[in-house]
Amino acid sequence: MPTPVEIIQAWRERLARAEGAAYCDALQEAAGDRVLCGALQEVMPELAHVWQRRIDRRRLLQLLGASLAMSGAAGCSRAPREKLVPYTAMPEGLVPGIPQTWATALSRGGSYAHGVLVKTHMGRPIKVEGNPRHPASRGASDAFSQAAPLELFDPERSRACTRRGAIVSSSAVLRALAAVRDRWSARAGRGLAVLTGSTSSPTLQRQVHALKSQLPEARWYVHEPIDRSSVIEGAALAFGRPAEPIYDFTRARVVVALDADFLDAMPGHLSYARAFADARRALDRHDSVNRLYAAQSTATLVGARADHRLSVKATQVNGLARRLAVLLGVIDDGTSSHDQEHERWLRLAAADLQAHQGEALVLCGDHQPAAVHVLVHAINEKLGNFGRTIRLIDPVADASRSNGDLRALCARMAGGAVDALFMLDVNPVYSAQADLPFAELLSRVPFALHSGLYQDETAGASEWHVPAQHAFETWSDVRAFDGSASIVQPVIAPLYPGWSLPQWLALIMKGEPGDAMGIVRGTWRALWAPARDRDFERRWHESLASGVVDKSQSASLTTALDRNWQAHVQRSVPSEGLELRFTADASVWDGRYANSAWLQELPRPLTSLTWGNALLISSALARELRVVNGDHVSVEHAGHELTAPVWIMPTDYPRHTLTLALGYGRTRAGEIGTDVGVSAYRLRTSAAPWLGTNVKVRAVEGHSALAAVQLHHEMHGRDLARQMTLDGFTAGARASHSEGNRLPSLYPEIDRHGRYAWGMTIDLNACIGCGVCTIACQAENNIPAVGKAQVLLGREMHWIRVDSNRVGDRGEETVFQPVPCMQCERAPCEYVCPVEASVHDSEGLNVQVYNRCIGTRDCSQNCPYKVRRFNWLDYNGYEREQPLAAPAAVMNPDVTVRSRGVMEKCTYCVQRISRARIQSKIEERTIREEEVIPACAAACPSHAIVFGDLLQSDQEIHRWRGSARHYVLLEELGTRPRTTYLAALRNSKPLDDETLKS
Amino acid sequence: MSAERVSVLKPGETYASATDQISALVLTEPTRRTWVLFFVTSAALAVVYLYAITAVFAIGVGLMGINIPVAWGWPLVNVVWWIGIGHAGTLISAILLLLRQPWRTSINRFAEAMTIFAAGIAGMFPFIHLGRPWYFYFLLPYPNTMTLWPQWRSPLVWDFFAISTYILVSILFWYQGLIPDLATLRDRARTRRTQLIYGFLALGWRGSIRHWRRYETVYLLLAGLATPLVVSVHSVISLDFAVTIVPGYHSTIFPPYFVAGALLSGFCMVITIAVPLRRAFRLEPYITERHFDVMAKVMLSAGMVVIYSYAVELFTAWYSGDPFERGMLVNRALGPHATLFWIMLAVNAGVLQLLWLKRVRTSIPMLFTLAIVINTAMWIERYVIVITSTQRDYMPSAWGTVSETHYDWALLLGSLGLFFFLMCLFIRFLPVISIHEVRELIHEQEEQRS
Amino acid sequence: MSGRPPLGLLARFTSAEQIVAAAKLVAAQDYRAVDAFSPFPLPELSEALRASAAGVKWCVLIGALVGALGGYLMQWYTAVHAYAFDVGGRPLHSWPAFIIVTFELAVLGGALAGFFGMLALNGLPRLNHPVFAANGFQLASRNQFFLLIESRDRKFDPKRTRELLDSLGAAEIVEVESE
């Protein structure tokens, strides 16, 4: 047993010998070597703390100090020889301070991408916008892509290869890999299993194909917690071949959504939302407005926007579909075993569908069983909607080559037939269904390797872990909901070692990763089969530049209903007792985004909950259980039990349904995401992944405070978020009380002599309440996340909040209202500020001068809209370390990072205005409409926000403000807001008895 | 008239006896145990105060129970309360002087001291409340290279000027009153040190009749200036709220309402101090039952104005028919802090009525308890005004409430500690009763007799 | 004892009535350089000696005016010229809002001028004065009253003046050294 000093001495000699890459390897090994660390802690206890803690700038310096203490003392061993290239010549096209934009694609969850434009500042990706040329984005983006830059720079990302938690060099991984490769390649791949998420990447599909032909015995399994299998299966049953339906809402006058949240949950939701909103834009009273019937088994955005809503159990949806089919004469059986409300809703819908054949649309949710999809396909077929409002394409994420899902893998592992398992960009240890003993089986696999962005649960349970590369760091390709492909190109050099998915498959097949770009180019060279090399290069560059591969949309399948489709229709009876719905979470999806403070703090639609999930229950059930918000209940389903806090939903929430969002209760997500909420996976079974029936729930001891940002959804008779009936609108009613005239004022009218007069108008009829504007604003304006405790105190910092207001007689209808700063012309916040920190500029902006603000907060007190936010504490980590403070790298250099004690608020993205102003001055012209788009408006999927110059009468905002739906929030206060609203519309079908009888 | 004049002093007092007894309190009196007790406890609380301030400055105002929408918390409540307490002193010293009320003589000195300490403490809270207190001087109109100036339309700037003027004028007024007494102490002092200190502070006052002439004139003029000032100060404070558009703040009754409230709580504090002082230093000859009776009457009248203001506020809120004003009403009566609202009404509108009874007005213990109870209720009143109003204003979606933290408590109790700490020092080192005015009073009495 | 003539004669009286009477007589004999010291203000006495307070009144008035004018002009200049900003669409010269600070500064100006004017006109602070040296003078701040006739008075004659004071019933007459 050598003494610590001897151990260190040995290492010193070894380091002294090593050079260049070998030196680095040696250092890495040293860092991972338990014995050495132990010895070091004995000899240099003052450095002990350096090992445990997470690495930031200060820690890094400490580590440098430590390594100096080692190598420095080791007789001044020479530093590794490396070539340094001075930054004399600027990279082409890079002008300091001018951001560059790159087109690439991001996918929510694994597959189904939407094109994005990544704005990089001096090489740092800081902001993501939707790619207007991409069919799945049309310029909009979702919350996850808005948070992508934060994820890229997350200091808690996995930074090094590890073996059983100890850091090892990547060459060590390669050595180990080579060893196992010999074993399986000798046996045609027997014992080799690759587990990935579902993927739409042509390259990956090609590689999997190659892998299988090279190693026929190798297995490829797909584990996607949130997948579309029943959609594809339903199509398969109906048409005899797997397919995915895609919808065209612009043509649909009547939409019947059977538990289908096409605004949020479905692939293509961004473009669907836009199309749906456009189909009911109705600025003029003669414009046509579609009508939406929605049956929902939980609170959904579609339900909130529906003209006719019906709240049912998930298991009743099949019944609804059958009844609808009967009413439309698709099938015939005598059942009309529905209660009055259902029947009325169905008859109204049926009548409307009848009347709009070919321009109607019936759809059902991805989580509904295949049988329901079959019925819906039949109904659409009958109404002649195929080819008009709906078309079928080949499944985008083709899993036909896979050997099944996690269940299949577990079976094989249990059989001991897996001795090398690669888990690439998946986290099965966390997200495995409750009935699969995956973690336990994994421990028996001889060679288990995990590659992921984080040192997550699976990394902890596997012997080997290799950091994955972020979508911004690597080459790949991916397809959208309609099949159109995009090439994923890196916008920054990889921050940490690791390999991308294509490289992994190359590694498994060939033994070396190769270069990702080459692999991807290979795929497309094969797909395009270009005559000349030049053609390929041209298309390649076009695709990279535009962010979408030209003409890559999947062709519509022309298939008729299978002859015996009716055989697959089931006569399922609705379940007794309570049902438990599992939903994808709006902020963490299936759990993979859990470590993002921005996403965690983004209020979930409808509930406005932040930092965690809760079991959503109806108020009726709450009364039965005698629980209030936050009280703990124990949920028991299929032998699995889980304790969760409850959140009580408003009246229209289905009485017998519980809802629990997936993705929480992470145990190794990182400092931010760990132990937030409860894990729904512990109740989820592979038999019924989306719905638990006969669920038992009982109140138990315990309470946890739930951080909701909006505590009052009723408006107490105050006319804030307005809604008109379509009939009234077409009859010429106006939303504004002042009939568009300005209310009188004691103050003289002032002319601000500005060259522009900026204004914003928000269409409550288009807003779907998804909240992307909020996080887009956060990403653009360096808004800090403050954490659950502060949110509970009412100190969230979002500059634009999305209120969900209950309207209607029984408060059963919802109107979403985004509320940014109103930029009042007669701003009440300004005259109370003692130091002129809140003043007006010549273009009508109500500006906040951070340097001047001393934090009296009188402005916020006097703001009737309460849109101002205050830095109560040092949220940005100026003074002391803040775990939630975003790393400096992700900050937008055009926006001041606010210090403790100053007030802040929406600025209409003034930095974008001034950038455009500078450009326009250079070119000696006025700013064009499309030049200034605030982050919220740019990200909005449904184009609910329009921004423009009120002095240029040709701008869209003027058409909006001319509408009879236009009104001013709290106009009677005489604040003269520059931000105004368009009232929402309800297009409910007039009740006539014929429709009910027929 | 004459009977009344006599009754403010016990008969048989002479220039000499008054002079000797009062100056003895400072010069020869041994330190009492009660004083030490008070001194130590209040000093301890004052330390807590300093700790809380340091923490809030170092870490941030987030330590206190404030948020959006309730961005103004306990510090603002304390400002209004403390300033109000200050007002009684000025009223006694200035207004009663102009009204030639002889009974003020024996209490005006410590009432003025109370004013200065209270106003000083009140003046600190706005800075504690600031998000960036180290930039407080942005409020000052000082020439600077960037030619930045305050925003004169802001009530907070008015505050800044009103409060600082108030503190300065009160100090002048108090100090001028002290000069002849400091001279008296100088002449009575036995040790070299005290002689030097008091001699220095007395500025060489020698009681020249020509000096007295100017002295008297300026004293009256200062009183004349202080009178509108004291009314203006709390009116300006009330404008912090009244000029906003927040339901519950935006009300024209506020200036008189606040001034009356100020007098009420101020006189409560005078009584709270006078009772133990009188007992501890045997000042019964100078502070008689009649003083308490008169002060109780002032409390009662101020209280009635306050009650009237409540009524007007509630009525207009209801009568306006404005949903937001009515909402404010409902929120106060039934909202998260309803209990406080009802306590406020019960005490300030109910218990106060006991003062109609002579028995209560003349019974020192009852008056003492009443004073403390009502003063607490007055603090609660300010809480109801400042905090419950923005809690639920225009947009229900933005509604939210706050709960206080232990820093809020530390700052409130600590400020009380600081106040009594300063009071203790004052009692020990300065004449608590204006000696020369007592002599003058005795002289007047003799003239009455002859 | 320096050779210089004394400051004057200081007569102690035991009651206010006495000294008032005495002062009247002394004034009647048109002594001018006369001063009196008492433990509290005696209006009759100051009348007798024709003490005037006109100066301090002017101080207060001017101080108040300067405060008011300066205050308003400062606000007007800074808000309209030096730092003209569009604040909530309010007029630059929002005079109603300027009144309050104007008022406060008027009070402040008046008070400061009054207090310091009083000190200045009284020649204070002056920590030492010959009368302090006079025997028993510290009783002037207790219960005794003093009348001082200065030697610079042209009617002053050490002998006759002393007799006069005697005749007025002075309890004690001392000579005050000059400084």
Residue A79: predicted pLDDT: 45
Q: Does the distance separating the beta carbons of A834 and B157 come in below 8 Å?
A: yes
- Dist. CA B169–CA B92, nearest whole Å: 15
Mean pLDDT confidence for A910-930? 93
DSSP H or E run through A320? helix A317-327
A664 is written with which tokens? 């929480």
- Count CA within 13 A, CB hemisphere, residue A433: 25
Q: What is the ipTM of this complex?
A: 0.89
Decide the pairing of beta strands A291-296 and A308-311. Answer: parallel
44-83 in C: which are within 8 Å (CB) of B? 45-46, 49, 51-53, 55-57, 60, 64, 74-75, 78-79, 82-83
Q: Are B435 and B181 in contact (CB under 8 A)?
A: yes
What SS3 class is residue A610?
strand
CB contact under 8 Å between B165 and C108, yes or no, is yes
What is the per-residue pLDDT for B1?
Answer: 35
pLDDT for A76 equals 37
Interchain proximity A826–C83, CB inside 8 Å: no
Instruction: Give yes or no for residue A957 having a pLDDT over 90.
Output: yes
| DSSP at A197 | -
Predicted confidence (pLDDT) at residue A386 exceeds the cutoff of 60: yes
Helix (H, G, I), strand (E, B) or coil at A724: strand
Q: What is the pTM of this model?
A: 0.88
Q: How confident is the model at residue A90, as a pLDDT?
A: 60
Do B346 and B384 form a contact (C-beta atoms < 8 A)? Answer: no
> B401-418: string of b/e by CB count within 10 Å (b at 16+)?
bbebbebbebbbebbbbb
Is residue A71 very low, low, confident or very high in pLDDT (cuts 50, 70, 90)?
Answer: very low
Report CA-CA distances (Å) from A937 to A280, A805, A807, A948, B31: 18, 21, 25, 11, 74
pLDDT band at A514 (very low <50, low <70, confident <90, very high): confident
Non-local CB neighbours of B99 within 8 Å, separated by 6+ positions:
none
Decide the pairing of beta strands C34-37 and C145-150.
antiparallel
What is the mean pLDDT of the segment spanning C128-157?
83
Predicted pLDDT of residue A21: 65
- Chain A positions touching C85 (Cβ under 8 A) are 836, 839-840
Q: Which pLDDT score is estimated for A159?
A: 92
CA distance A332 to A747: 71
Give the pLDDT band (50/70/90) at residue B448.
confident
Count of C-beta atoms within a 10 Å radius of residue A622: 19
Residue B14: count of CB within 10 angstroms of its CB: 12
Give the pLDDT score at A789: 93
B289-320 vs B323-334: helix crossing angle, rounded to 10: 130
**Bridge-partner residues for A696, per DSSP?**
A636
In the prediction, which pLDDT does A61 show? 59
Cβ neighbours for A552, distance < 8 A, ≥ 6 positions apart: A479, A483, A484, A485
Tell whether C40 lies on the interface with B, counting CB pairs under 8 A: yes
Residue C131 or A908, more confident: A908
pLDDT for A49: 57
C-alpha closest to that of A272 among A124, A417, A403, A112: A112
Q: Contact, B183 vs B438, CB < 8 A?
A: no
CA–centroid distance for A695 within its chain = 29
What pLDDT is attached to residue C126? Answer: 87
Two tokens, residue B140: 């000052």
The band of A84, judged by pLDDT with boundaries at 50, 70 and 90, is low
Q: What percent of chain A has pLDDT over 90?
A: 67
Span A711-727, pLDDT tens digits: 999 888 888 999 999 99
Q: Do B327 and A871 touch (CB under 8 A)?
A: no
In terms of DSSP H, where are the helices of A731-782? 772-780
Higher-confidence residue of B188 and A908: namely A908
CA separation, residue A840 to residues A370, A947, C85 (Å): 59, 18, 7
The two tokens of residue A233 are: 């299966």
Q: What pLDDT sits at residue A442? A: 93
Q: What's residue A607's pLDDT?
A: 93
Interface test with chain A among B57, B236, B324, B397, by most A beta carbons within 10 Å: B397
Are the C-beta atoms of A480 and A114 separated by less than 8 Å?
Answer: yes
Structure confidence at residue A73 as a pLDDT band (50, 70, 90):
very low
Crossing angle of helices B105-129 and B33-59, rounded to 10°: 20
Q: Taking residues A363-376, report their average pLDDT.
A: 92
Report how far residue A484's alpha carbon sits from residue A253's, in angstroms, rounded to the nearest whole number.
26
Long-range CB contacts (within 8 A, 24+) of A335-342 = A341/A310, A342/A310, A342/A312, A342/A316
The secondary structure of B40-66 as a DSSP string is HHHHHHHHHHHHHHHHHHHH-GGGSS-
A54: three-class secondary structure by DSSP: coil
Q: State whether residue A640 is helix, strand or coil.
A: strand
Q: Among positive and negative, which fits the CA dihedral A888, A890, A893, A897? A: negative
Q: Pick the more confident residue, B14 or B171.
A: B171
Coil, strand, or helix at residue A870? strand
The answer to whether the beta carbons of residues A136 and A481 sit under 8 Å apart is yes
CA nearest A872 in B: which residue?
B62
Kindly report the average pLDDT of chain A as a whole number. Answer: 88
Residue B427 pLDDT: 87
Structure tokens at A646: 């409850």
Strands A124-130 and A113-121: antiparallel
**Local structure of residue C2 (DSSP, 8 states):** -
The percentage of residues in chain B with a pLDDT greater than 90, rounded to a whole number, is 54
Closest chain C residue to the Cα of B225, Cα to Cα: C107
Q: How far apart are CA B302 and CA A462, in angstroms?
A: 78
Whether B186 and C114 lie within 8 Å, measured CB to CB: no
Helix (H, G, I), strand (E, B) or coil at A193: strand
Quote the pLDDT of residue A832.
94
Phi, psi (deg, nearest 5) at residue A115: -70, 140
Report whether pLDDT(A755) > 80: yes
What pLDDT, on the 0 to 100 scale, is given for residue A650?
85
User: Average pLDDT, stretch A367-371?
Assistant: 91
Please tell me which of the candidates B68, B71, B396 has its beta carbon nearest to residue A718.
B396
Backbone angles phi, psi at A742, to 5 degrees: -75, 140
pLDDT band, residue A62 (cuts 50/70/90) = low
Residue range A739-749, pLDDT digits in tens: 656 778 888 88
- Tell me whether B174 touches chain C (CB under 8 Å): no
Question: Residues of B numbered 202-221 whose beta carbons fall under 8 angstroms of chain C's beta carbons: which are they?
Answer: 203-218, 221
> What is the token pair recorded at A590?
């299936």
Cα A623 to chain centroid, rounded? 34
Q: Determine the pLDDT at residue A859.
A: 94
Give every CB contact of residue B210 below 8 A, 6+ residues apart in sequence: C35, C46, C49, C51, C122
* Lowest-confidence region among A282-286, A916-920, B65-69, C7-11: C7-11
How confident is the model at residue A913, as a pLDDT? 95
pLDDT higher for A251 or B5? A251
Of the pLDDT bands very low, low, confident and very high (cuts 50, 70, 90), residue A78 is: very low
Q: Tell which of C93, C115, C139 to mutate to test the B interface (max B CBs under 10 Å).
A: C115
**A124, β-bridge pairs:** A121
* Residue B389 to chain A, least CA–CA distance (Å): 10
Q: So what's the pLDDT on residue A767?
A: 95
Q: So what's the pLDDT on residue B274?
A: 87
Model confidence over A96-134: pLDDT tens digits?
Answer: 778 889 999 999 877 899 999 999 988 899 999 999 999
Tell me the C-alpha distance between A616 and A697, whole Å.
12
- What would the mean pLDDT of A529-548 be, rounded to a whole number? 89
Which of B67, B68, B403 should be substituted to probe chain A, the one whose Cβ sees the most A Cβ atoms within 10 Å?
B68
Query: What would the mean pLDDT of A551-575 be, rounded to a whole number?
Result: 84
* Residue type, position A399, single letter: A
pLDDT at A433 exceeding the cut of 90: yes
Look at A45-59, A919-933, C141-155 and tell me which has the smallest mean pLDDT: A45-59
**Residue A652: pLDDT over 90:** no
- Cβ–Cβ under 8 Å, residues A943 and A274: yes
B86-114: per-residue pLDDT in tens? 888 888 888 878 877 777 777 888 888 99
Cβ of A830 under 8 Å from any chain C Cβ?
A: yes
> Using alpha carbons only, how large is chain A's radius of gyration in Å?
29
Owner of token pair 């030209």: A550
Q: Please, which residues have CB within 8 angstroms of residue A926's CB and are 6 or more apart in sequence?
A: A755, A756, A920, A949, A952
| Mean pLDDT across chain B | 88
CB-nearest to C90 from A752, A824, A831 is: A831
pLDDT band (50, 70, 90) for residue C45: confident
Q: What is the arithmetic mean of pLDDT over A924-945?
A: 94
Best of B213, B235, B435 to substitute, by most chain C Cβ atoms within 10 angstroms, is B213
Q: What subunits make at least 3 CB pairs under 8 angstroms with B?
A: A, C
- The DSSP 8-state label assigned to residue A803 in this structure reads E
Q: Minimal CA–CA distance to A814: which of A345, A342, A300, A364?
A: A300
> Given this model, what pLDDT does residue C129 score?
85
The gap between the terminal CA atoms of chain B, to the nearest Å, is: 16
Whether B390 and A861 lie within 8 Å, measured CB to CB: yes
Specify the pLDDT at position A594.
94
> For residue B284, what are its two tokens?
């019964």
- C86·A839 Cβ contact <8 A: yes
pLDDT at res. B415: 94
Q: What is the reported pLDDT for C1?
A: 43
